[in-house]
Amino acid sequence: MTREEAIDVLKHNYPSACFTDLCEAVEMAIQALSAQPEIIRCKDCKWSVEHYDTDLNAPYWICKNWDGGICIDADSFCYEAERRR
């Protein structure tokens, strides 16, 4: 689930018109989520390209955003990631 999807779920399930402590906590959670950068895994980043090593019979990933491209773990992430559309 992306950050935006989580915020939409919170907004849909807890309308802002209520005046309970729970709604105040949900609003604080929405604000906290909105302030955080989105974490994008390398496998979901537009800069990563999947390659297939026929010798090892396994896929690996190359990051095109780094000088010359570097091998990366698909489940890693970095601060320069951009979601693949």
Q: In 64-73, which positions are buried (b, 16+ CB within 10 angstroms) versus exposed (e)? A: eeeeeeeebe
pLDDT in tens, 2-30: 778 888 888 887 765 566 777 788 888 88
Q: Which two tokens stand for residue 37?
A: 């950068």
The CA distance from 70 to 62, in Å, is 5
- Indicate the pTM of the whole model: 0.52
Average pLDDT over residues 37-42: 81
Q: Which two tokens stand for residue 76?
A: 């890693």
> Is it the case that residue 59 has pLDDT exceeding 80?
no
> Is it the case that residue 38 has pLDDT exceeding 80?
no
C-alpha dist (Å) from residue 61 to 23, 30, 43, 49, 83:
43, 33, 8, 6, 15
